[in-house]
Amino acid sequence: MTTRSVRPKLLHTLPSFFRRLNSAAPSSISAVAAFDTAAPDPKQDPITRTDSCDRAINVDDSDKIFSTVSTTKLIRSSMILHMVAVESMVDFGMWVLNSKLMGSPLAKRIVFGAIERSFYDHFCAGKDLMEVGGTVKELWDSGLGAMLDYGLEHATDNEDCDRNLEHFIRTAESVNMHPSSSVSFIVLKITAICPPSLLKRVSDLLRWEYKDNSLHLPWKLKTLPVFADSSPLYHTPRRPAPLTREEESDLNSAHERLTKLCIKCIEANVPLLIDAEDTSIQPAIDYLSYSAATEYRKNDGDPLIFNTVQAYLRDSKERLIVAKRSADEMGVSLGFKLVRGAYLSSERQLAASLEVRSPIHDTIQQTHACYNNCAAFMLEEICNGSGSVVLATHNVESGKLAASKAMDLGLDKDSHNLQFGQLYGMADTLSFGLRNAGFRVSKYLPFGPVEQIMPYLLRRAEENRGLLSTSSLDRLLMRYESSFDHLSLFESHWKSINGMILESH
């Protein structure tokens, strides 16, 4: 990347600029700030921070990190990230997509046309598998893998589920169209192949069975534990009715859909990554995921199923350990994806309505500590010869800690048992920094028709307002710098755009 000079006037005005930032409104970080209210819990501090953490990955050399990214793309990306960091943009987007305005064909065409040329192009891989192919190749040429996520969720009936399954099948079949090993995962939300209403019923019964082991669930298959002693059970205050014959049939159909997708992924030699959702239905999602893991693995013996653990939940570390230990005892090949979590608002609202303690950690520091603790546990398991993990994080500090821990343990940086992941269009500083350090890194690629994917992404943004928020300093600095023709300072601060973002997946 071409080195650029900085105007002397800019250097002279920076001190006053930074003073102005001190009085700037916190804007969209308020949702995160409300979560960030207490000191870290020293008992949960899993990895001792040393100087080697900073040496593990380099996020300071912008020329090296963004050597494969054009200045035009950097400027465009900064503008998009600045806009979506404003909460009112998310609110306005949801209002427009849910308004009567979308009933007009002309208005709908104008809205989706504007979205496609801005937010959609930045955060999504394409409208179909053909367009996705170009994105996958672009990533692969820059040293990054791809997690293919056809943006479907919340099916309403069996017809929806069957139709959705066909899209996931075609996605798995497309893997061989891409450069070898460029697709690291097929991503699935279980709600796309099993209606949430049924998952809620199954979750209630699984919770009650955990409370009362005399409860017999005739439909239950071989699986792994989905609860721990610390797991909240308030969602199910009374004994639920058994599944009806129709519900059992629908659950069996969901198993069959997941089985078909597992077989297709085995044929394509690509693992299946199952996303987490909210706690009201997560037990059923874990049950289905673990049931599939007990039955299927890749032909080379590596895990086929990667289930997601959300570290913002207070019981996450204990559930991770219980499931991992049980998998080892049963000889089950199972991988995990670690994220912080994406349903903070809805989880807290539900807990407040029931007058119970929230299942989420009290502070953001505790969530960070829990994530790092879970990551350290999985890295040690890999070192001991058992385990596979995707460390999905936008947090630079967590990335540095995990990379340093992996190096201290002597893990192979290019091992297929350890991968890092970030969302497409976000956290590029961390992605390229880890890539340059020799680790495997993949981008999470949502794709599909614009009118289908944008509501999907806006729901993600609405569920986790902090996800797209950067510090007010970063946003104002980018706006300030981009007004100058000479952009070397802009490039050096680009790394901050993503490193300060709280992640979702």
Residue 494 covered by a domain: yes
77 occurs within a structural domain: yes
Distances (CA, A) of 281 to 164, 322, 421, 501: 19, 19, 24, 27
In 10 A of CB 415, how many CB atoms?
13
pLDDT of residue 325: 97
| Element housing 62 (H / E) | helix 62-65
The C-alpha atoms of residue 203 and residue 281 are separated, in whole angstroms, by 6
2 belongs to a structural domain? no
Q: Is residue 464 part of a domain?
A: yes
Please state whether beta strands 145-150 and 441-447 pair in parallel, antiparallel, or not at all (unpaired): parallel
- 29 within a domain of the structure (yes/no): yes
The CATH number of residue 378's host domain is: 3.20.20.220
Find the angle CA(251)-CA(255)-CA(258) to the nearest 5 degrees.
Answer: 135
For residue 342, the model assigns a pLDDT of 86
Output the pTM of the full model: 0.83
Which range of residues forms the domain containing residue 343? 8-499
User: Half-sphere exposure of 67 toward its Cβ, with a 13 Å CA cutoff?
Assistant: 13
R_g of the chain, CA atoms, integer Å: 23
Tell me, yes or no, whether 112 lies in a domain. yes
pLDDT of 491 reads: 47
Ranges of residues in the chain with a pLDDT under 70 are: 1-54, 62-63, 65-66, 68, 85, 459-505
Contact 90, 461 (CB under 8 A): yes
Structural domains counted in the chain: 1
In a domain, 360, yes or no: yes
- Domain assignment of residue 1, yes or no: no
